[in-house]
Amino acid sequence: MIHNKFLFSIASIISLSFLFTCASAQTNEKQEWEKGSNSKNKAEQSYGSGDDVEWGSTDVAYDITATNLMDMKVIDQTGKKIGEIDDLILSTKEKVAYAIVSVGGFLGVGDKLVSIPFQDIEIRKAKKEAVINLSKQELEKMPEFKSESIESRNYQAEDLPAMDATKRLTRGGTEDYAINAKKLFDVDIIDKNSKKVGEVDDLLLSQDGKVVYGIVDVGGMLGMGKKSVAVPFHHLTANRTEERILLNVTKEQLEKAPEFKFRNKD
């Protein structure tokens, strides 16, 4: 739920409707997700003891990340480019609800943003493209998406335009939308004493569509000497108003955590 003073768990942010072949990642990530979902209530999960943090594997086979989806080209059924993914709308119900697609314009001028239900987008990771069952002309006729509708909590699934019955696209259910994904990147992570301990670099998505880890950058200076750590999402809580994320560990604990590296990223 979104309002001026809102503290929400970003443990349950993203759900995708596509599958990637990555058995080892699925097993490890599913176990971490189930631990976070079943062992504690949400308040305890999001701000537990630093000693309880189970750091992510240092060798996670690569599925896809939220930043990989940004700027991915969108094509129609004939293979013609009709737009690009600009952002993701994250719901409070553990999934990516919509992709925000940029269509029209030239070199970023005159383009318009429209929302597409994420479950109706086919992601082709190897080709770095997303396929939808709409033409460019149909996209351009859709109502424009405005980010302030998220801020005011007025952007809900029932407000989205109905699609032609012959189209594959479907309407979502009734649910609130928490935040657009871009706003999470490079946000400061602070400890319980409000001391900065790192920054959010990316969101790692599991094979079954959950965001299991927040990839956190810690240490270094001016981008030199830093390392990435995979932090289970149930240990992260975002303060939307102050644009920061709470994690009950010290910077020293983060720096001692296993370094995260992608396997088969390319």
Answer whether residue 248 shows pLDDT above 50. yes
Query: Where are the chain's structural domains?
Result: 7-65+182-263, 69-179
| C-alpha–C-alpha distance, residues 69 and 84, integer Å | 9
May I ask the CATH architecture of the domain 7-65+182-263? Roll (2.30)
Answer whether residue 225 shows pLDDT above 60. yes
Could you count the other beta carbons within 10 Å of the beta carbon of residue 81? 11
Is 35 or 255 the better-scoring residue by pLDDT?
255
Q: Which of 163, 191, 187 is nearest to 240 (CA)?
A: 187
Given a contact cutoff of 8 angstroms between Cβ atoms, the answer to whether 200 and 246 are in contact is: no
Given a contact cutoff of 8 angstroms between Cβ atoms, the answer to whether 199 and 186 are in contact is: yes
Given a contact cutoff of 8 angstroms between Cβ atoms, the answer to whether 200 and 216 are in contact is: yes
Q: How many residues does the chain have?
A: 266
Q: Do the domains 7-65+182-263 and 69-179 sit in the same CATH topology, yes or no?
A: yes
Given a contact cutoff of 8 angstroms between Cβ atoms, the answer to whether 254 and 248 are in contact is: no
Burial environment of residue 3 by CB neighbours within 10 A (0 to 12, 13 to 18, 19 or more):
exposed
Answer whether residue 120 shows pLDDT above 70. yes
Instruction: Note the pLDDT of residue 220.
Output: 75
Instruction: Note the pLDDT of residue 119.
Output: 82
Judged by average pLDDT, the poorest of 74-78, 94-98, 167-171, 222-226 is: 167-171
Integer angstrom CA distances of residue 185 from 65, 76, 200, 216: 12, 29, 5, 10
pLDDT tens, residue by residue, 47-98? 333 444 455 554 554 467 888 888 899 999 999 999 999 998 877 666 777 8
Answer whether residue 156 shows pLDDT above 80. no
| C-alpha–C-alpha distance, residues 212 and 203, integer Å | 8
May I ask the CATH architecture of the domain 69-179? Roll (2.30)
pTM recorded for the entire structure: 0.65
| C-alpha–C-alpha distance, residues 247 and 193, integer Å | 10
Burial environment of residue 38 by CB neighbours within 10 A (0 to 12, 13 to 18, 19 or more):
exposed
Instruction: Note the pLDDT of residue 162.
Output: 39
Instruction: Note the pLDDT of residue 165.
Output: 37
